[in-house]
Amino acid sequence: MKKIINDPADFVDEMIEGILLAHPDKVKTPGDDPRILVRADAPVAGKVGIVTGGGSGHLPLFKGYVGQGLCSGVAIGNVFSSPSSQQCFEATKAVDGGAGVLYLYGNYGGDVFNFDLAADLAELEDIETRTVLGRDDVASQPNERKLDRRGVAGIFFAYKAAGAASERGDNLDEVAAVAEDVVEHTATMGIGLAPTILPTTGALSFDLPDGEMEIGIGIHGEPGIHRGPLEPADKITERLVGALVEDLGLVDGDRVAVLVNSMGATPLEELYVMYRRVHQLLAEIGVSIERKYIGEYATSLEMAGASISLLKLDDARLALLDAPAVSPFFQEV
């Protein structure tokens, strides 16, 4: 196992320490637990706080999206493991500015369990909360069971929209409604080419023979919907985009935002090869691309592979995407 680490048991805490040392103007630790990060000016009086959380290993997801116009705080777990309910609760208290707190995170059992417990603890402290789950992975469940889907890279769009709504002064129900609306109109599909090696155990996150690909793989190596020989970039992109267009019901005249995301080991050059075909395919059916995001937005350590996310746009969603936002890993002014 070749990784640039020290003691594997210290990997997460040393990574967080590095983020804090590199970006003290953007994030801070509000108490004694280094696994809780909040934006540097938290809490912001009178504004809805937004707390996300999940396992490490996915930078810039989740901790990289804490900042102005995005999330207010994050509870951080071990690699591919949920944060504790107490950590979620402490993050809640740290960002509460008196207007309530939205929980916005991916739809995974451990995260749901612990955030639900944190909501109960927050209620005892008279902190009002709402929950919206990212659930954009179309490979994980069919459309008729979309409430059970996993949350993957498309949650970036929900962070952006909910953060903008909070900044403009929307109340808690309004911010939650904005997040839910964006989640409802977002779809993602990914492809895996090679697994990651977990730093704490040295184990592979999944097994995939040389020369094969897996369509629909999850960000923790969850099984996809198709395995077979590696195909050319255009064919892969056609598979992914076809599934997303069908799921969102896109037709001539629709507008979208596109996110082409590396899982960690796939270089930017290959993402642009994919984006080229995304652009062509959507143009062929009369769908216009209003905004595009290409790079690392939700990774799985050094997994080889990529995902494509589409957000169906209207004027309101586009305005929220265009609002200013600044975090250690994202800036749009």
Residues taking part in catalysis: 58, 220
Q: Are strands 226-229 and 212-215 parallel, antiparallel or unpaired?
A: antiparallel
**Residue recorded with tokens 């960690």:** 264
Q: Retrieve residue 222's tokens.
A: 């969850």
Structural contact between residues 169 and 189, judged by C-beta atoms closer than 8 angstroms:
no
Cα distances (angstroms) measured from residue 244 to each of 75, 81, 191, 202: 30, 28, 13, 34
Alpha carbons 92 and 94: distance in angstroms, whole number: 5
Sheet holding 226-229, edge to edge: 226-229, 212-215, 186-194, 304-313, 255-262, 288-295
DSSP string, 241-290: HHHHHHHHT--TT-EEEEEEEE-BSS-HHHHHHHHHHHHHHHHHTT-EEE
Alpha carbons 310 and 289: distance in angstroms, whole number: 9
Burial label, 115 (beta-carbon count in 10 A; 0-12, 13-18, 19+): buried
Using alpha carbons, select from 205, 219, 102 the residue that is nearest to residue 151: 219
Q: At what angle do helices 172-184 and 155-167 cross, to 10 degrees?
A: 150
**Could you say which DSSP state residue 151 is in?**
P
Q: Retrieve residue 328's tokens.
A: 């250690």
Element (H, E) at 21: helix 11-22
